[in-house]
Amino acid sequence: MTIGLADPSLRPGPPQGRAAVIVGVGAYVPPDLVSNADLESRLDTSDEWIRTRTGISTRHVVSPGTATSDLAVEAGRRALKSADDSQVDAVVLATTTPDRPCPATAPEVAARLGLGGVPAFDVSAVCTGFLYGLATAAGLIASGIAERVLLIAADAFTTIIDPTDRTTAVIFADGAGAVVLRAGESWEPGAVGPIVLGSDGDQSDLITVPAGGSRQRSSGEPAKPGDEFFQMAGRATYRHAVERMTEASLQAVAAAGWAIEDVDRLAAHQANARILEAVADRLAVPAERRLSNIARVGNTGAASIPLLLAQAVENGGLEAGQRVLLTAFGGGLAWGAATVTWPALG
């Protein structure tokens, strides 16, 4: 097992110094919807299989010409509005589907938000991107490099999905979510608690886009047909997802000095409804404390957690003062968990 930050015994205790405090949240999904019936008409699948195996009924997808930056800009704009802010010192974008392999997408997003000139860069941690981005943003704040950070997580997953692959095409979808963080104190509502992160690169082939990177390019061999698409070994991934999210969640809760009974809301990466249930059952978080929007939005990669949080705030499922446990898992393999007491947002 890879340990790294995931081992609480390596942690010196609660983080000292400046905390990162959430002061705004926003999300955006593209308007086009794909239903299970739409997928049934072009794939060897059924509404019944998709609903019972994944919990998904509909998902939002980008239309041709729409890229990750377009989703990110809209989510970022909404988060800045929620924070009543127009200026930050850094923009971090978590994504697996950058507009182009080079350069990073974050500088363009920053410029389009009128934030040109600030440091802006991408974080690549697939479905755990939001939590890796949160750790990065918290680090920028703790070190004094930034007072305020806009963290956006956006994925246009359908642009890398093989439309004929029924194992991925029914699950993955598009969307974006964002938070604004400012420097503050660890006792303040909105202060991000301990963040637990881990990875296991021995399992990197379980979730991959084989072609397009330096490995394939330097081999001199043409890419195999289909290798430009996202590929996932679903069953093996499923097992790791349940184990890693459960383990990281317990570590984050312990590092925060909470007990599981203190968790008012579990906001887990919306990978698959059955995975969410298995994690929540193992943690013994009761059904009414589990946030879920996977039925309506599918698996939106890095965007999943902030999209879930923003929609829960909108529909009253998440209120100020509630203790929230965040956890995610995805390609890398990479996983993580964090705690936050939800703030009152404007």
- 69 CB neighbour count, 10 Å cutoff: 25
Q: Based on CB atoms, which residue is closest to ligand UT7, 16 or 41?
A: 41
* 127 belongs to the catalytic site: yes
Catalytic residue among 127, 240, 272, 293: 127
Taking the complex as a whole, the smallest distance from the CB of residue 53 to ligand UT7 amounts, in Å, to 5
> Quick one: 182 or 240, whose CB is closer to ligand UT7?
240
Q: Which amino acid is at 178?
A: A
Residues 296 and 36 sit within 8 Å (Cβ to Cβ):
no
> What is the residue type of 58?
T
**Which of these is catalytic: 36, 60, 240, 269?**
269
Residue nearest to ligand UT7 (CB): 234
Smallest gap, in angstroms, from Cβ of residue 47 to ligand UT7?
Answer: 10
CB of 41 to ligand UT7, least distance (A): 13
Is 269 a catalytic site residue? yes
Residue 73: closest CA among 32, 106, 24, 104:
106
Round to whole Å and give the CA distance between 128 and 237.
14
What DSSP designation does 299 have? Answer: B
Report the alpha-carbon distance of residue 156 to residue 95 in Å, rounded: 9
Query: What is the number of other CB atoms lying within 10 angstroms of the CB of residue 81?
Result: 14
Q: Which residues bind ligand UT7 (CB under 6 A)?
A: 45, 49, 53-54, 127, 166-167, 170-171, 232, 234-235, 237-238, 241, 271-272, 275, 299, 329-330
Q: 72 and 94 in contact (C-beta within 8 Å)?
A: no
Shortest spacing between CB 247 and ligand UT7, in angstroms:
15
150 or 309: whose CB is closer to ligand UT7?
A: 309
**Nearer Cβ to ligand UT7 (91/127):** 127
List the catalytic residues.
127, 269, 299
